[in-house]
């Protein structure tokens, strides 16, 4: 079932990326924080709704203890996502999504190291093949080449060019930093949810804890905007509907992601990362994004690496 859960997650997060991009305004310096407010609202509501279904029947005291246990993973995710929202102001979705989702390969490597230390090396090595190594290599090479291409493009373009090109490789730092923090969060999730080496948290418990953490982050973002802009942000304005849709798609994917990670963490992490394929298809069809040949070649390299990882994992299950 982990493969089915991962595929559903891919669809949910692919559409979330599309609406994140549609919600982003390069002229609004608080655009990324407004998205964070909406994601916090949706995840917070779902967290409250799921409390009766908690596997461990968490009391307030145990919830506090589990909150601390899961805090490293949840904070890493939240930091990565807010950085990703900011990056969408300056870069096209078809560039941002593949670079960000290289975290799927890196987190798998981190989990292999951890499980090897725990004495589970033999069971992990059985799950990796030449295709896994090839896919990871393509992803890393694609990221490096894309940074070089962006840097050259930023130097050759005039000052009147669109911001997403003028910022060049500097703007590419956003998806790269997203990748770093998401790698930490995904690896932590795989470790926490592992039945033998984990912290004993169930899938629903993780969804609840993550939801409450993001709710707190959303409240902090709202208060920050109130303090800085001297005006209360209204997330329920008609103009904010794309943010609401993005947040709902995010939570939909998150639920299936947790169950996929709980079943096969090392396999699910890079598989889920392939949701960038959906993001790229949607960005070309709906957002009409266009790439230079060099950019497209780099993006194809990253996507090919993620697809190879997905194919490798599919073959392993046959």
- C-alpha distance from residue 170 to each of 87, 92, 101, 104 (Å): 10, 14, 18, 23
Q: Which residues have a Cβ under 8 Å from the Cβ of 162 and sit 6 or more positions away?
A: none
- Output the six-digit token pair for 276: 């960038």
Mean pLDDT by 10 residues, the chain (318 residues): 85 93 88 96 95 71 77 91 86 71 73 71 60 75 71 54 51 80 85 65 87 96 94 94 96 93 77 77 79 79 79 67
Instruction: Report the first-to-last Cα separation within the chain, whole angstroms.
Output: 13
- Nearest CA among 265, 205, 257 for reference residue 77: 257
Q: Tell me: the pLDDT tens digits for 230-289?
A: 999 999 999 999 999 999 999 999 999 999 888 777 777 777 877 877 887 788 788 777
Q: Which residues have a Cβ under 8 Å from the Cβ of 306 and sit 6 or more positions away?
A: 98, 101, 102, 104, 105, 135, 139, 270, 273, 274, 276, 277
CA distance 235 to 214: 15
- Give the position of tokens 């409450």: 212
CA distance 231 to 141: 45
CA distance 195 to 286: 41
- Nearest CA among 104, 69, 118 for reference residue 273: 104
CA distance 220 to 216: 6
pLDDT at 287: 78
- Nearest CA among 158, 93, 96, 149 for reference residue 288: 93
Average pLDDT, the chain: 80
- Residue 50 burial (CB < 10 Å; 0-12/13-18/19+)? middle
pLDDT at 189: 82
- Residue 290 burial (CB < 10 Å; 0-12/13-18/19+)? exposed
Contact between residue 300 and residue 141 where contact means Cβ atoms under 8 Å apart? no
pLDDT at 277: 74
CA distance 218 to 33: 8
Cα–Cα–Cα angle for 174, 180, 183, nearest 5°? 130
* Main-chain phi, psi angles of 289, to 5 degrees: -70, 145
């Amino acid at each position: 079932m982990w493969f089915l859960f991962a595929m559903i997650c891919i669809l949910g997060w692919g559409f979330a990326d599309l609406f994140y991009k549609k919600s982003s305004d390069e002229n609004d310096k608080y655009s990324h924080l407004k998205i964070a407010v909406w994601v916090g609202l949706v995840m917070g509501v779902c967290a409250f709704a799921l409390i009766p279904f908690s596997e461990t029947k968490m009391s307030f005291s145990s919830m506090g203890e589990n909150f601390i246990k899961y805090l490293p993973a949840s904070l890493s995710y939240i930091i990565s996502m807010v950085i990703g929202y900011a990056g969408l102001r300056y870069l096209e979705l078809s560039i941002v999504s593949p670079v960000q989702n290289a975290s799927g390969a890196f987190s798998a490597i981190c989990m292999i190291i951890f499980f090897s230390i725990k004495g589970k090396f033999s069971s992990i090595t059985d799950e990796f093949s030449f295709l896994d190594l090839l896919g990871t290599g393509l992803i890393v090479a694609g990221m490096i080449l894309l940074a070089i291409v962006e840097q050259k493009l930023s130097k050759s373009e005039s000052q009147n060019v669109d911001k997403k090109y003028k910022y060049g490789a500097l703007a590419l730092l956003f998806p790269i930093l997203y990748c770093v923090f998401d790698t930490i969060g995904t690896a932590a999730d795989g470790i926490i949810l592992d039945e033998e080496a984990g912290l004993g948290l169930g899938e629903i418990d993780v969804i609840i804890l993550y939801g409450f953490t993001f709710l707190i982050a959303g409240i902090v973002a709202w208060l920050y905007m109130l303090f800085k802009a001297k005006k209360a942000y209204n997330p329920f304005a008609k103009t904010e509907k794309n943010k609401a849709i993005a947040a709902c798609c995010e939570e939909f994917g998150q639920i299936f992601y947790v169950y996929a990670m709980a079943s096969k963490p090392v396999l699910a992490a890079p598989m889920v990362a392939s949701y960038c394929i959906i993001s790229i298809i949607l960005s070309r069809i709906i957002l009409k994004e266009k790439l230079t040949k060099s950019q497209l070649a780099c993006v194809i390299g990253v996507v090919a690496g993620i697809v190879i990882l997905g194919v490798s994992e599919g073959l392993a299950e046959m």
